[in-house]
Amino acid sequence: MQNNLSFHQSSVSLEIVGLPDYSNDENNDQISIISQWKLTIIDKPLIEGKFEHLLPIMNAFYIYSNLLIKNDIPLYESKLIDIKAENLHIHTIVLKSSKTNVKPLILKIGNSLLSDIINCFDQLNESPKVRIKKTDLHNIPKKFRFGLNNKVKFFNFIMPPFIAICSLILLSYSLIYFYNPNQNNEKKELINPE
Amino acid sequence: MTIWKLRNNNPLRKSYITNNITLSEFDALIRITVEMSKYLYPYIREIMKSKENVEENSVVWNDFNKRFIELIKERFNIDSIRVKKLLNQAENDEIIVKSLLILSFCISNQGYQKLKNFLYDF
């Protein structure tokens, strides 16, 4: 009997099917030997494959998401999957089958679905119930090193990320503008009419 | 109060004061941002989604952009070239999209580490 685990984020869900590694005395609900996985995106064709396809696809999404933030022209190409940006908001994914007679599957997704997919992969990576060889999540070259003894170096090092974090906080403040606590209270009242 | 004071370390703000921010204060700001991103993810997602379909009128995006600019004008030094870039609607789309993407990629349990990596590489 195979174990089945699902990870959900908004419009995307990732299903992992597999078995525990009994030779390592693992629990019955653990998955260490992945036999199949399915990535379901609402209104898009189902993406599924074997274990050997999962890690390259996860890596592709992680590397692409990093390129997207750092580069003006993000592009990821491999034997299995290509991802490129159509514009600031839309990305084209080309999934290539290993079988010669199967045409590549082309999907267009927006930033919202891309972040849902990344968050599903994050949940899988962080799940204690699935043991897979962890992907190199960030793949970010460490350009900077701490020089705590040198105040000038430290100041130059800390200021760009500090400005960035302040901009993100400001951005988050403007997001609160969209949050309506009354709406949430109404929902709670509907659930608990007392 | 401490967070309010820390905000004034941002040289883009009108009320900029040169204080040395410590590494632990910087870490605390990252943790607060990650927690806020988790809480606000449905709204972040909705804003990004509203700009994806060209045929539909992106009302949510326009509202957000308007509020973002209002906040910048209210709190930031608008004579600074970097702030002018944020206010320029022809240029600020990319900055906003990238900022929203960074926030949306950092809502997992490892979000703190991810955001830290993104920021160090900015």
Q: Is B10 exposed, middle or buried (0-12, 13-18, 19+ CB in 10 A)?
A: buried
Q: Is residue B1 situated within a structural domain?
A: no
Q: Is residue B58 situated within a structural domain?
A: yes
The Cα of B5 is separated from the nearest Cα of chain A by a number of Å equal to 12
User: How far, CA to CA in Å, does B40 sit from each of A58, B37, B43?
Assistant: 25, 5, 5
Q: Which of B10, B52, B96 sits opposite A162 (nearest CB)?
A: B10
In one-letter notation, the amino acid at residue B32 is I
| Whether residues A111 and A157 fall in one domain | no
Task: Give the pLDDT of residue A5.
Answer: 93
Q: Is A2 exposed, middle or buried (0-12, 13-18, 19+ CB in 10 A)?
A: exposed
Domain of A66 in residue numbering reads as 3-126
| Whether residues A77 and A169 fall in one domain | no
A59: which 2 tokens? 């890596």
| Whether residues A118 and A56 fall in one domain | yes
Interface test with B, best of A167, A173, A187 (most B CBs within 10 A): A167
| Whether residues A43 and A104 fall in one domain | yes
| Whether residues A118 and A156 fall in one domain | no
Determine, for residues A88 and B49 on separate chains, whether the beta-carbon distance falls below 8 Å.
no
What CATH number does the domain containing A48 carry? 2.30.31.10
| Whether residues A75 and A167 fall in one domain | no
> Does residue A142 carry a pLDDT above 60?
no
**Residue B11: its chain A contacts at CB < 8 A?**
159, 163
**Residue B114: its chain A contacts at CB < 8 A?**
137-138
| Whether residues A164 and A104 fall in one domain | no
| Whether residues A38 and A116 fall in one domain | yes
Task: Give the pLDDT of residue A91.
Answer: 96
User: How does pLDDT run across A112-139, given as a tens digit for each residue?
Assistant: 999 999 999 999 999 999 988 654 444 4
Q: Is residue B15 situated within a structural domain?
A: no
| Whether residues A112 and A162 fall in one domain | no
Q: Is residue B68 situated within a structural domain?
A: yes
- pTM of the shown model: 0.78
Domain of B79 in residue numbering reads as 29-120
| Whether residues A98 and A12 fall in one domain | yes
Cα–Cα distance measured from residue A14 to residue A39, given in angstroms and rounded to the nearest whole number: 5
> Does residue A141 carry a pLDDT above 50?
no
| Whether residues A48 and A12 fall in one domain | yes
User: How does pLDDT run across A81-111, given as a tens digit for each residue?
Assistant: 999 999 889 999 999 987 788 899 999 999 9
Q: Is residue A16 situated within a structural domain?
A: yes
User: Which ipTM value was assigned to this complex?
Assistant: 0.90
The Cα of A69 is separated from the nearest Cα of chain B by a number of Å equal to 6
User: What b/e sequence results for A12-44 when a residue is b if at least 16 CB atoms lie within 10 Å of its CB, and e otherwise?
Assistant: bbbbbbbbbeeeeebeeebbbbbeebebbbeeb
Cα–Cα distance measured from residue A30 to residue B14, given in angstroms and rounded to the nearest whole number: 54
Q: Is residue B35 situated within a structural domain?
A: yes
Tally of structural domains, chain B: 1
Q: Which of B91, B70, B64, B79 minimizes the C-alpha distance to B11? A: B79
| Whether residues A8 and A93 fall in one domain | yes
